[in-house]
Structure formats: structure tokens, C-alpha cells
Amino acid sequence: MSDKSSEPTECPRCGYRSLDLLYVSPVAGAWEVYQCRQCLYCWRTSEPARRTQRSAYPESFKMTLEDIRNAPEVPTIPPLRTGA
């Protein structure tokens, strides 16, 4: 379980140090959901270290400011197929 000492100080994905607390668990102290203000990555504090800590986050998924600025647009969702 998390406590105050586990409150994140940087984004696991891009290392940015400005985070928003989005949600807290209905049961007090179980988890919080944070979002990075720079790359918009979201995570819940109860997720494993590879999703919540920069030092354990997979290298291939890390983003730099350059990566974020050059990221292509998110593809739109295609129309639903008919006749299934």
C-alpha cells in the first residue's frame, strides 16, 4: 500500500516534475491516480514499479520533450464495420 513517502515527484515516462492528482481511491490511502502535465501519462500508485517509477520504467517507452513535440497525431478510430 502507498503512504505519503511514495507520493510521486516525477513522471515515469518523461521525468517532468509537475503532476496532477486526478483521483483518490474510495478506500482512503489505497491508491491515487496521477497525471503528468507534460506528456499526459496517467498511472495509479498501486501499479508495479515499471509503470510508476522512472528508474524502473522501460527505456523504450520513455519520452523526451523532443519526442513529445514530434509525436504524430493520435489516429482516429475508424467507423464501425457493418454486416457482421
Note whether 11 binds Zn ion by CB under 5 A. Answer: yes
Q: For residues 54 and 12, is the Cβ–Cβ distance under 8 A?
A: yes
Q: Which stretch binds Zn ion (CB under 5 A): 2-10, 36-44, 53-61, 73-81?
A: 36-44
Which is closer to Zn ion, CB of 6 or CB of 29?
Answer: 6
* Cα 42 from Cα 51, distance rounded (Å): 9
Cβ atoms < 10 Å from Cβ of 31:
17
| Distance of closest approach, residue 39 Cβ to Zn ion, in angstroms | 3
Cell numbers linked to 5: 513517502
Residues that bind Zn ion (CB under 5 A): 11, 13-14, 16, 36, 38-39, 41
